[in-house]
A and B are shown apart, each in its own frame.
Chain A
């Protein structure tokens, strides 16, 4: 079974541009999580979905960040406009809808905003 798929794997953009990150969770996983990793702040939860519905978005840093999950097999994280401090590795993870199940991470998207 394929793991969590993320695209693009690397993204370099200029400040002010819109950035869209994509994620395909593992089939059958009802939970989808977006994390951000930086040297300074470590791994942080941004938002997560259950059955395509956003459950907790308290980790989303600013209104510039938005996330959607239009169906069970696709989610996007959008940054508009992007800023240099958004540079980080963004991970998507998914898990099965059962207590005690762990989360499986995708390979991540390395974002550099110049």
Chain B
């Protein structure tokens, strides 16, 4: 089952914050977040394992709510370089399974 991402698209001014959500109808083992720029490969941002952990990386952080099977990606004080499409990839099993990706959230940062 494909995870559901919301919103589908976001337009922000530089310096504003954004939240991208990823929900699954199945119990998840892990959630992987990627950013993809046009014409390029997805680039790994962070991974969250079940257990409700929260991670941070510079001004980008994420959380995983195991009860709700939902992960959220937080972008704080957005920069122009944050523009792109954000994907969550979900994993159900505990091993290195293939990821099931959401349809993506398009993020546009304007100066």
Contacts and interface: CB of A to CB of B under 8 A. Distances in A.
A92 to B, nearest CB: 10
Interface stretch (B20-28, B69-77, B100-108): B100-108
Dominant secondary structure of chain B at its interface with chain A: loop
Nearest to A101: B96
Contacts of B101: 42-44
B30 A43 contact: no
Contacts of A105: 34, 41-44
Contacts of B97: 48, 56
Contact of A103 (B32, B95, B104): B32
A16 interface: no
Interface in A2-38: 30-31, 33, 35
Interface residues of A, number: 27
Contacts of B64: none
Nearest to B103: A42
Interface of B: 2, 30, 32, 34, 40-44, 47, 49, 87, 89, 94-104
Given A95-B96, A99-B95, A103-B99, 11 more contacts: A43-B87, A45-B100, A56-B97, A56-B98, A97-B96, A101-B96, A103-B44, A105-B41, A105-B44, A107-B40, A107-B41
